[in-house]
Structure 1
Amino acid sequence: MNGLLEGRCLLITGVINHASIAFAVAKLAQEQGAEIVLTGHGRLHMVEDAASRLPRPPPVVELDVTQNEQLATLAERLRVHVPRLDGVLHSIAFAPRGAVSGEFLATSWADVSTTLQVSAYSLQALTNAVLPLMDAGGSIVGLDFDASMTWPAYDWMGVAKAALESSARYLSRDLGARGIRVNLVAAGPLRTAASHGEPRFTDIAAAWRARAPLGWNPSDASGVARTCVALLSDWLPATTGEIVHADGGFHTIGI
């Protein structure tokens, strides 16, 4: 029996180590038949080490989404490994400490602008960079954290996620005619390398475990990975511009 992603070529960003959400997506995508390429920035040896733990170690290409030169050559560098792209996982976010310190009013523009560029604008920048490989349409999926409310110390990353959500809607509008779907997956809090930079992660995760109707395990990214893989497949051909929650139902519960 063929997998959901049999014969599809995917670009997976955001694999830092084997605990990354993107790693769980990459592993499941391969298990479902996809050919994948990973991107890494800075400490490429860490991404390459994570790649070696996958069922079929994929190639890794360097990508810093703040560098126009790297974005301009991305499609050409990917063509060395895949003939086209059928899907892209955007799992890119970063905020300087000053932007997630709990001092929202004191954050400098330098920290805010970095947060917005890496965590929100990068969705448009990455999409533009890979469009030459998506002539046959496809699916772009971004990882989100519900921006409809505030979270302790999440601060300007929350603002960036709100911008990410709006960007996904505009991209879905502009890319629909090309057969490209753009959706986000709003995950619950997961213990990843990135979460260590969130000062109130433990409190948020505890609230999730207590209130999510389906329960929540911050150490298990499998439910989020399955949601991403479903969106990257052909099984949701009429869905675009959506924020799909993979959070145990937490977002449905009031006080």
Structure 2
Amino acid sequence: MSINPEPLAGLLAGKVGLVTGIANGSSIAAGCARLFRAAGAELAVTHLNERALAHVRPVAEEVGAALLLPLDVTDDAALEAVFEAIRARWGRLDFLLHSIAFCPKEDLHGRVVDSSRQGFATAMDVSVHSFIRMARLAEPLMDRGGCLLTVSYYGSEKVVDHYNVMGPVKAALEASVRYLAAELGPRGIRVNALSPGPLKTRAASGIDHFDDLIEAARSRAPARRLVDIAEVGAIAAGLVSDFSTGVTGNIAYVDGGYHVVD
């Protein structure tokens, strides 16, 4: 389903946002970046490394990103440099999107009970604690309030075949959303998570038997279809806007209703 961006025009005018986790033009973060820009936001965009840059640059150019910065979230100096660049450019930040997750393949494709200590720790660090580190760095730039967004999945609360160790990891991410919302709320900073249904993205392709997840969502969701990245982006734009100032600590499902069926 296509989204008409015209009703969003001006919704985020004057706001500055950071978008992390764009892998290519088909990624969830790319869909969000397009809708943020259509709503009038100025954007900073990150890329993982030089190899990823070729896939991210076209999206950054499409959305007119003012900053295109390298970011490996396992490198504290690189993360700090991103927020320093934003401070130098705008002096503030109104919202950010954290759309980053990783688990070593051998742990992702195995049973949770067989996951290695290092693999589990890596998945938690990259997929969860990086969001907490971003929140800490964003806080002083959000002196007028703001919104932090991350991306979760239904496997956080229900056992989904082949999602494996990412289930506990996403559960930790959603718990972090709630605690950050409570801690940062007095500063006017809201914290929410998007929970899209399965999407054919580069990141999702690493999940074993992913086509089975896609078919289950398509056939069993009340909407009887998959959602697309533009629909996720539209919800993201609404959540970071001033129309959602009363929404924090929330998990926003964008899955055609799949999460309500057994």
Give TM class, smaller chain: over 0.9
Question: Which runs of 5 or more structure 2 residues have no equivalent in the other structure?
Answer: 1-6
Residue 116 of structure 2 is aligned to residue 108 of structure 1: yes
Q: AA paired with 1:50? A: V
Task: Report the counterpart of residue 3 of structure 2 in structure 1.
Answer: none
Q: Distance in 2 between matches of 1:230 and 1:4?
A: 8
Q: Distance in 1 between matches of 2:84 and 2:129?
A: 22
Question: Which runs of 5 or more structure 1 residues have no equivalent in the other structure?
Answer: none
**Matched-pair contact (CA < 8 Å) for 2:45–2:65:** no
Residue 12 of structure 2 is aligned to residue 14 of structure 1: no
Q: Distance in 2 between matches of 1:181 and 1:55?
A: 24
Q: Distance in 2 between matches of 1:57 and 1:185?
A: 22
Task: Report the counterpart of residue 131 of structure 1 in structure 2.
Answer: 139
Residue 226 of structure 2 is aligned to residue 186 of structure 1: no
Equivalent in 1, 20, 28 of residue 35 of structure 2: 28
Pair 1:124–1:31, CA change in 2 (3 A): same
Q: Distance in 1 between matches of 2:66 and 2:161?
A: 37
Aligned-pair identity in percent equals: 37
Equivalent in 169, 172, 175 of residue 181 of structure 2: 172
Residue 127 of structure 2 is aligned to residue 119 of structure 1: yes
Q: 1:215: how far off?
A: 2.5
State the TM-score, normalized to the length of structure 1.
Answer: 0.94
Residue 244 of structure 2 is aligned to residue 232 of structure 1: no
- The total of aligned residue pairs comes to 252
Residue 199 of structure 2 is aligned to residue 208 of structure 1: no
Q: 1:55: how far off?
A: 4.1
Q: 1:77: how far off?
A: 1.6
Task: Report the counterpart of residue 48 of structure 2 in structure 1.
Answer: 41
- Name the SS for the 1:225 alignment partner: helix
Q: What RMSD in Å do the two structures reach over aligned CA positions? A: 1.5
**Matched-pair contact (CA < 8 Å) for 2:33–2:63:** no
Q: Distance in 2 between matches of 1:215 and 1:80?
A: 47
- Name the SS for the 1:121 alignment partner: helix
Q: AA paired with 2:96? A: V
- Name the SS for the 2:235 alignment partner: helix
Task: Report the counterpart of residue 165 of structure 2 in structure 1.
Answer: 156
Q: Distance in 2 between matches of 1:57 and 1:234?
A: 22
Q: Distance in 2 between matches of 1:19 and 1:167?
A: 27
After superposition, what is the alpha-carbon deviation per residue over 1:118-145, rounded to whole angstroms, capped at 9, x for unaligned?
A: 0111110111122221111111111110
**Matched-pair contact (CA < 8 Å) for 1:74–1:129:** no
Greater mean deviation of Cα atoms: 20-29 or 72-81: 72-81
**Matched-pair contact (CA < 8 Å) for 1:37–1:81:** no
